[in-house]
Every structure is written in C-alpha cells, then in structure tokens.
Amino acid sequence: MGEKTPRREYLKTLGALVGGLAVGGAAGWLSKPAVEVPGAAVTKTVTETLAATATVTPPPEKPKWRMVWAWGVSWFTGYIPSMIGANTAAKMLNMELSWEGTKPYPATPEYTDFIRSKLAGLDPDRDMIVVHYNNLIADICKKAMDRGIGVFSSNIDDYTQPLEKRMRLAVVAQSHYNAGRANAMYLIQRGLLKKGDRALISLQARGVGDLEVRFNGVYDALKELGCIIDDLAYSYEPANVAPMYEAYYRGHPDVKAIFACDGAGAVGMAAFQKSVGLKPGELPNIVWDPTDVANQGIRDGYITGANDQEFYFQGFYPMVLGWLWKNDLTHFMSPPDIDTIAGTIVDKTNVDTYAAFVKACNDEVAKLGWFKPG
C-alpha cells in the first residue's frame, strides 16, 4: 500500500471533485492533478469524440426564365442588333433566349397561326414571349396572359389602337410621333429648311398605323416652321420608288427637303436625284432605318440621314422587363413601357461606325447559328 493520505488532503481532493461537477461539469474534476486514494479502485474513463454530419436541404431552385422571341422576321438589317441586344441581356440576367425570328411576316394570317402555336407550348412557370404587332393578335395574347404567360411587345405596337387591342405587359418601341418631329428638326436646326420652303413627306400609304403617326410628327414640325407641305404615297415595290420621286420632283422643282416615313423611302432616293441632275447634298432628306441601301446613300451624299430606332435596345430592354416581372420586382404592377424616342440619326459623321456595329452583330448572329444574315 502507498503512504497514508492525511485527512485534510483527502477532503481537499473530495471538495475539488464536488466543486468541479457543480461548476464546470466533469471538466472541473479532470483538470485537477491525479491523486491516489488509499484502497480505492482505479477506473479509467475514455472519452470518444464522434463527428456528426448535418444534412442541409437547399431551397428549391427557381426555374431559369426563358424568353421566346417571336418577331416574325429577321432578315431586316435593324433586327439583327435587336438579336444581339436580347442575347446580351439574357447572358447578364442568366435567362434562356429562344429566337424565333425567321417565320412569316407580321400582319399576316400565317404569323397569327405561328404565334398561336408558340403560345400554346409555353410554360407559365418559366416562359415569356416578345411579339411584333401586338394589336393584331390581341385575342390570343390575352388568352396567354390569362394563363400567366408574360407577353411583351417590341419595335412595333400601334399606339393608335385602344388599349384593349394591345394585350401585353409592356412595350419597348420608338415613339413614332416624336421620332417624326426629330427627323424634321434635324434639318430645321441645321438651317436646311426655313419658313416658306416646300417639303415633301412620303410614305407607303396614308392612314396606316405607325406610318401615319410618323407622318404627323414630321408634318407638325414643318407646319410650325411655316413650310409648304406635300405628301406622296408610293408603291413599296423598289422599282417604282425612284420613278415616283422623279415624277413629283419634275412637277415641284422648288422642293427643298424630303422626309420618308419608312425604310422603302431610301430605295431609289439616289437614283432619282441622279436622273434629274441633282448633285450630292443638293436636296436634303431624311429616311427611316439605316439599311445597307440608306447607309450607302449617306456615304455617297444623296441621303442626308436615316433614323435609327435603337434596335439594340429594343432587343435588350424586353429581357430586362421580363426578368423584373418574373422576380416580382415590379411591385405587382405592370412593367413600364420604354420609349426609344427619336433614336439616333445616322449621317455622314457616324455611318461607318454604325455599319461596323451592324457587321459585328451579323457575325455574332451567324456564330450563334440563329440564321445566316444576308
């Protein structure tokens, strides 16, 4: 046996055990130095630490929003930047983009059938759609919205139609009236038109929705200036545009400016001026849409400028509005309409920059495999 432990030391040891259990649990006892107690059995306690693995179940992942883009056509020069604008926004917002832009031209029964078939296959939990000429397909768009499908309109949405014929959450498009005024003001502010001058406003036909609104914008600005205003409705057939301009000019050789309210107006503009002996820059004019034909006319001096509707943003912003709506960030209200207003006037100072931008868009679209431009 070991040496006898004094009673005083034994009580100190026992007190340490009781105090340790009361205050710090077993750690209070284990922290004391080992003391041999006479006649006591020795018991070894082995403490084993077990690693516990917690299983955390993540919240269900939200579906990836998808925007189905059903404009109807994609051959038009301006729509190609819209494709890239939409694709850029899709990548930024982690959205899917399905471009369906090589189908029948809007305002035809084939387009209506095309949209109806696309809408029928959409999933309200993830899908939205961008359409063209929303006012012509309001009935099927309303049915889609009643199912919870987000319908957006871009580029063309006839503001002359009542709201019940424009069934969509929001539109991204140019204010045709303001753009028409801007075209007129471009020449007025540069001193190319003055009070008493004769000006011609041309378009495919009077009374046609957005074209008539453009006409009114140009007309009002010219009227305020005090111009003599003529109008000409020409055939959309390219071969007929130049002869119609030529016939008008021979009857009104005092005309000081021409404003075309659609892309067709650029066709034949240079040819007609050459045929009547006008030199580049002698007859100021503004056309709509910087097409390849218009851009070449600008370079050659026979077209003063072309109104760009900001096609890139007409592709970009519908994606943003759809993303906001799907994420309930519009505070239960419809997303706002976005007006690309007058856009940019492409003229001799920036035509090559614009053309380079369009070419870059063409190349990107070709890489994406949506279709081969041109």
DSSP per-residue codes, 235-298: -SSHHHHHHHHHHHHHH-TTEEEEEESSGGGGTTHHHHHHHTTPPTTSS-EEEES--HHHHHHH
Top CATH class of 177-308 equals: alpha beta
305 and 346 in contact (C-beta within 8 Å)? yes
| Domains in the chain: boundaries | 1-49, 66-174+312-336, 177-308
Enter the pTM of the model: 0.76
Q: Identical fold at 66-174+312-336 and 177-308?
A: yes
Instruction: Please report, in tens digits, the pLDDT of each residue of the chain (374 residues total).
Output: 444 444 344 334 334 433 443 344 434 433 444 445 455 555 555 556 656 566 766 655 666 899 998 877 655 666 788 889 999 999 999 999 988 866 677 778 888 888 898 898 899 999 999 998 888 888 899 999 999 999 999 987 776 677 777 889 999 988 889 999 999 999 999 999 999 999 999 988 777 777 888 999 999 999 999 999 999 987 767 788 899 999 999 999 999 999 999 888 888 899 999 999 999 999 999 999 898 899 999 999 999 999 988 889 999 999 999 999 998 887 667 788 888 876 689 999 999 999 999 899 888 888 887 765 44
Instruction: Give the fold, CATH level 3, of 66-174+312-336.
Output: Rossmann fold (3.40.50)
- Label each residue of 180-248 as H, E or C: HHHHHHHHHHCCCCCCCCEEEEEECCCCCHHHHHHHHHHHHHHHHHCCEEEEEECCCCHHHHHHHHHHH
